[in-house]
Amino acid sequence: MRALRDGALMACAVLAGLLGACGGDAGASCGPTSARVAQVLDGDTVVLEGGERVRYLLADTPERTGAGGDCFGPEAYAFNRGLVEGRRVTLEYGEACEDRFGRLLAYVSVEGREVNTLLVERGHACVLHVPPAGRSRRAEFESLQARARLEGRGIWGACTPVPCLR
């Protein structure tokens, strides 16, 4: 009986190790699940205190830099900064951990409010889906964008052409 119990314990240990190695909890293995935002780079990208750069999933804001910046870029930056800079946020990861630039891809929340959805529903961002990241929530974000566009919120009322649709 003891051999059977020891064998079962060994099997559980091996299985737990394999699940960890294979990304059994992929979201947790991408990066921190909670951190303080050290710097806001633009409307859709932040730097955490640990130095990790985080790109918001499914939200693409106009650029605030470059040749005068894009229409509504400064507003999207200010909105994001007001929500998260210096604050503790929670991060939830999607189907991919990083983008091609090595930034973490996440849904970022502050005080129970998800910044990604706020940006899209208030017209500060367009939906950007780069498969596979964000596949599970793409339709939800496209619905938020359609409503913001219909109601002329943010970029949808202020910009012609809308910068993130170019």
Give CA–CA dist 137/96, Å, rounded. Answer: 13
Which active-site residues does the annotation give?
A: 55, 63, 103
Which residue spans within 74-158 are E strands per DSSP? Answer: 88-98, 104-110, 113-114
Phi, psi values for residue 148, rounded to 5°:
-60, -40
Q: Which two tokens stand for residue 91?
A: 């991060």
Question: Which residue is associated with the tokens 């339709």?
Answer: 139
> E strand or H helix at 20, and its extent?
helix 2-21
Pairing of strands 53-56, 104-110: parallel
